[in-house]
């Protein structure tokens, strides 16, 4: 069993948005799977809390706001050589189109699309990603479904998946893979402040709403060598919601 490919031993993985929620779970579970983790987020105090939960290893943290060009470049330079990156950082974006403002749209796209794509660009340009590396974007089922008022968020995630498929072809000659995860509703600090709303939404998920760990386990699969021929795809983690 020690030789099976479902592990991350010997790999160095960058996780953005690692200060809470899905990003924190990804960082914790990647460390448990054997990876050396670079945890990134905007808040150093919360990053320290994540680091304290990582299993022993050559882990590192770097506080950065990825919507700031200088901080994004500093993170990319800090990484050195890595075997994978999981782009978890992002924001929500709820507003009806009739009330949409350009500044709001810019904020959502800067965080959910521009930041992960430009970070990827810098990592590729600097040859920070080793041959065979895995690039993983956390998207959402919102990119595939229609929900009133969620247009800006849905559009940012749909754009992310569109570019992901093109990038997968660009990096394939280096045996790199590029994929996306599309979770349904996940019980994170971003949504669990309104428990009544969360419980109402949970009724539309036949298998229940997700936990951050569910996304983390899927991320490990797409980071590890077991998925070395999986690229340009989106893995849905919707608990049956798409079929209700």
| Per-residue pLDDT tens digits for 102-143 | 999 999 999 999 999 999 999 999 999 999 999 999 999 999
Average pLDDT rounded to a whole number, residues 14-43: 97
Task: Tell me the CATH number for domain 12-237.
Answer: 3.40.50.720
Does 192 have pLDDT greater than 80? no
Does 195 have pLDDT greater than 80? no
b (16+ CB within 10 A) / e for 95-111: beeeeeeeeebebbbbb
Spatial contact of 38 and 107, defined as CB atoms under 8 Å apart: no
The proportion of the chain whose per-residue pLDDT surpasses 90, expressed as a percent, equals 80
> What residue ranges do the domains of the chain occupy?
12-237
Does 244 have pLDDT greater than 50? no
Does 227 have pLDDT greater than 50? yes
pLDDT averaged over the chain? Answer: 92
pLDDT in tens, 162-187: 999 999 999 999 999 999 999 988 87
Does 208 have pLDDT greater than 70? yes
User: Whose CA is closest to 120, among 8, 216, 14?
Assistant: 14
Spatial contact of 108 and 153, defined as CB atoms under 8 Å apart: yes
Integer Cα distance of 232 and 167 in angstroms: 8
pLDDT in tens, 133-157: 999 999 999 999 888 889 999 999 9
Integer Cα distance of 86 and 179 in angstroms: 10
Integer Cα distance of 135 and 120 in angstroms: 8
pLDDT attached to residue 189: 65
Structure tokens at 201: 């939404």
pLDDT attached to residue 198: 66
User: Whose CA is closest to 186, among 160, 214, 209?
Assistant: 209
Average pLDDT rounded to a whole number, residues 39-64: 97
Does 201 have pLDDT greater than 80? no
Q: pTM here?
A: 0.93
Which residues are the active-site residues? 153
Structure tokens at 176: 């790199």
């Amino acid at each position: 069993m020690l030789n099976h490919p479902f592990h991350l031993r010997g790999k160095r993985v960058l996780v953005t948005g690692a200060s809470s929620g899905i990003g924190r779970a990804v960082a914790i579970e990647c460390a448990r799977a054997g990876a050396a983790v670079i945890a990134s987020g905007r808040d150093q105090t919360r990053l320290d809390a994540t680091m304290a939960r990582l299993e022993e290893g050559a882990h590192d943290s770097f506080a950065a706001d990825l919507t700031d060009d200088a901080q994004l470049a500093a993170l990319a330079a800090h990484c050195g050589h890595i075997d994978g990156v999981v782009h978890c950082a992002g924001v929500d974006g709820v507003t009806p189109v009739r009330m949409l403002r350009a500044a709001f749209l810019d904020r959502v796209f800067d965080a959910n699309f521009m930041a992960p794509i430009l970070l990827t660009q810098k990592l590729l340009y600097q040859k920070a990603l080793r041959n065979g590396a895995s690039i993983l974007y956390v998207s959402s089922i919102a990119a595939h479904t229609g929900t009133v008022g969620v247009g800006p968020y849905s559009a940012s995630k749909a754009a992310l998946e569109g570019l992901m498929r093109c990038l997968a072809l660009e990096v394939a000659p280096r045996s790199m893979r590029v994929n996306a995860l599309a979770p349904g509703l996940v019980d994170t600090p971003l949504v669990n402040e309104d428990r009544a709303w969360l419980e109402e939404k949970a009724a539309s998920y036949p298998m229940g709403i997700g936990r951050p760990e569910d996304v983390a386990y899927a991320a490990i699969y797409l980071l590890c060598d077991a998925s070395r021929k999986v690229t340009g795809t989106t893995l849905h983690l919707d608990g049956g919601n798409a079929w209700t």
